[in-house]
């Protein structure tokens, strides 16, 4: 009995999986998200934030409920075992979305690195670094990714919170008003739909975790609520620092606000450098999780793609590198963020709903037996 309980505790990876969920979403929240939300409306920014956050947690809840119908199975096994047609309709588009999201991350984060602190470094070198490290982690397996996530979280999360607290410096709370405005015009704004990039990709990997990685879904969901202040304040801190009109003109409002802060005791001359280094480590984890999930799907439909073969990851790295290099500039990244919105919603909504429907069918069949 004791040995069984000990083995069960040993298999439980709730903390590691939760940390992976939190830091991958933090990597998304602080970057493109504030610019897009601020650009989507002139007042009442809390409303598009609220709509997006409610959508995120609703889809996450449905996703976790759907997965709970199929213990010890990942999404690929669930769909293939239940309906090959459903698998064909959902899994290939999911793989395409994963690859497109990775290309956007690679190009976008290399762009900001050249702007903020690596002005003389060629973009290809940054993209190469952001490609090789995540693929190396993915090649070593999901356990390696999760252990690395735990280590980075212990080191960097407390420091991220310190940087976040520092960003309140020189803020004027009156710039956040009026809060009572409810301008629904943001629903017609392209910027709002581009901001949904921060809502979906950060949790899809949960369904691709293998049976060996067990986690308590209820605990993860309630831990996920910790992200709500970051969704809100990543938008309102630039607004309270610069005001609405100035913030709308900035490409990276939150990072610009952080860059305006002087801290004498910090090792780096600029708080921004310190902060971005942390975000880059989180992006590495996110890309490694996406790459690992993509290769699981690709293996199903292309048998020559072997999941644990070095050449698979080398080939995938090369494809990502040249794909990211083919994106010429930030304007192209901006267009990709918007053009992939329909696929983003399709993947984010279809997978949870399909899991719920298949799970209910499975439950009915089990009750009849």
* pLDDT confidence bin for 261, thresholds 50/70/90: confident
Residue 45: CB partners within 8 Å, gap ≥ 6?
37, 38, 235, 236, 239
Mean pLDDT of the chain: 84
For residues 321-332, average pLDDT:
87
The yes or no reply on domain 14-356 and CATH 1.20.1740.10 is yes
pLDDT digits (tens, 9 = 90+) for 195-237: 888 888 888 889 888 888 888 989 999 998 999 999 998 998 8
pLDDT of res. 305: 63
**CA-CA distance, 103 to 323, in Å (whole number)?**
7
Cis peptide before 178 (omega within 30 of 0): yes
String of b and e for 275-305 (b: at least 16 CB within 10 Å)? bbebbbbbbbbbbbbbbbbbbbbbbbeeeeb
> Which residue has better confidence, 49 or 86?
49
* pLDDT confidence bin for 366, thresholds 50/70/90: confident
Q: Is 326 strand, coil or helix? A: coil
**CA-CA distance, 125 to 36, in Å (whole number)?**
28
> Which residue has better confidence, 228 or 299?
228
**CA-CA distance, 212 to 6, in Å (whole number)?**
15
Per domain, the residue ranges of the chain are 14-356
- pLDDT score of 269 more than 70: no
Listed residue (278, 142, 289, 284) closest to 203, CA to CA:
289
Listed residue (342, 356, 358) closest to 93, CA to CA:
342
**CA-CA distance, 288 to 295, in Å (whole number)?**
11
pLDDT digits (tens, 9 = 90+) for 328-358: 888 888 888 888 889 999 999 999 999 999 8
**CA-CA distance, 90 to 355, in Å (whole number)?**
11
Contact 108, 333 (CB under 8 A): yes
């Amino acid at each position: 009995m004791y040995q069984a309980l000990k083995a069960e505790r040993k298999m439980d990876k709730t903390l590691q999986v939760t940390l992976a969920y939190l830091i991958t979403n933090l990597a998304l929240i602080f970057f493109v998200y504030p610019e897009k939300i601020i650009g989507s409306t002139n007042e009442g920014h809390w409303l598009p934030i609220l709509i997006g956050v409610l959508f995120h947690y609703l889809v996450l809840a449905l996703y976790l409920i759907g997965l709970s119908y199929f213990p010890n199975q990942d999404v690929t096994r669930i769909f293939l075992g239940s309906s090959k047609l459903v698998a064909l309709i959902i899994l290939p588009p999911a793989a395409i979305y994963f690859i497109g999201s990775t290309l956007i991350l690679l190009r976008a984060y290399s762009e900001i690195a050249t702007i903020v602190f690596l002005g003389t470094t060629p973009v290809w070198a940054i993209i190469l670094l952001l490609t090789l490290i995540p693929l190396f982690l993915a090649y070593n397996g999901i356990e390696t990714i999760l252990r690395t996530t735990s280590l980075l979280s212990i080191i960097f999360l407390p420091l991220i919170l310190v940087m976040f607290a520092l960003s309140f410096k020189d803020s004027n709370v009156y710039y956040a008003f009026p809060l009572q405005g409810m301008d629904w015009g943001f629903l017609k704004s392209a910027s709002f739909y581009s901001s949904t990039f921060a809502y979906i990709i950060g949790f899809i990997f949960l369904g691709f975790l293998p049976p060996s990685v067990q986690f308590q879904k209820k605990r993860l969901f309630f831990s996920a609520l910790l992200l709500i202040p970051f969704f809100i304040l990543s938008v309102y801190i630039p607004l309270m620092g610069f005001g609405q009109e100035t913030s709308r003109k900035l490409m990276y409002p939150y990072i610009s606000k952080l860059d305006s802060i002087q801290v004498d005791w910090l090792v780096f001359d600029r708080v921004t450098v310190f902060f971005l280094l942390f975000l880059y480590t989180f992006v590495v984890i996110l890309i490694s999780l996406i790459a690992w999930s993509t290769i699981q799907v690709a293996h199903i439909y292309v048998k020559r793609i072997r999941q644990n073969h070095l050449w698979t990851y080398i080939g995938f790295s090369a494809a990502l590198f040249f794909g990211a290099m083919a994106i010429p500039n930030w304007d192209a990244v901006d267009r990709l963020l918007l053009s992939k919105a329909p696929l983003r919603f399709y993947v984010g909504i279809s997978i949870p709903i399909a899991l719920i429907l298949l799970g209910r069918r499975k439950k009915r069949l089990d009750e009849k037996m």
